[in-house]
Amino acid sequence: MSTPNQEDYLEAIWRLTQEKGYARVTDIAERLQISQASVSKMLRRLHADGLLEVERYRGLSLTTVGARQGQRLLARHRTLECFLQHLGVSDPEVVYHDVEGIEHYFSAYTLEQLTALVQYIDDNPEWWQHFIQNLPEDR
């Protein structure tokens, strides 16, 4: 991942909270592969924006607004992940790298349409298989 932005932080904090019940600066730094100093700087911003709460003993957690955003960002990541997997991109590292590269650029409407497409593919696997299997060989 290149320099993570606010959305990457919110997604990472939401993921960690879901997985472990809390998010620590060290976990976030490890997850986003950046220094703890950079994490602390962004956390101050998220806190100032009303997205993050710092509880003395329990550590960091997202406010209701922050959690809603984190949830939405994780769902967006997963939708794009599913879409690439449906396209036949099977290397998890490539999927991750590509999703990280494109996820910030979807408008709400485009994402909504893509989510509907992924859902349709899930519901109609034969329809999608027909498409995938009939792609020209030498591209």
The reply to whether 77 sits near Ca ion by the rule CB under 5 A is yes
Q: Considering only the stretches 17-25, 47-55, 57-65, 76-84, report the one whose residues sit in contact with Ca ion under the rule CB under 5 A.
A: 76-84
DSSP one-letter string for 41-94 = HHHHHHHHTT-EEEETTTEEEE-HHHHHHHHHHHHHHHHHHHHHHHTT---HHH
Q: Cβ closer to Ca ion: 31 or 77?
A: 77
- Signed CA dihedral, 23, 27, 33, 35: sign only: positive
Give the shortest CB-97-to-Ca ion separation in angstroms.
11
Q: Considering only the stretches 55-63, 70-78, 90-98, 124-132, report the one whose residues sit in contact with Ca ion under the rule CB under 5 A.
A: 70-78
Under rule CB under 5 A, how many of the chain's residues touch Ca ion?
2
Q: Considering only the stretches 5-13, 26-34, 43-51, 125-133, report the one whose residues sit in contact with Ca ion under the rule CB under 5 A.
A: 5-13
Distance (Å, whole) CA 56 – CA 115: 39
Residue whose structure tokens are 């009303």: 50
Binding site for Ca ion (CB under 5 A): 11, 77
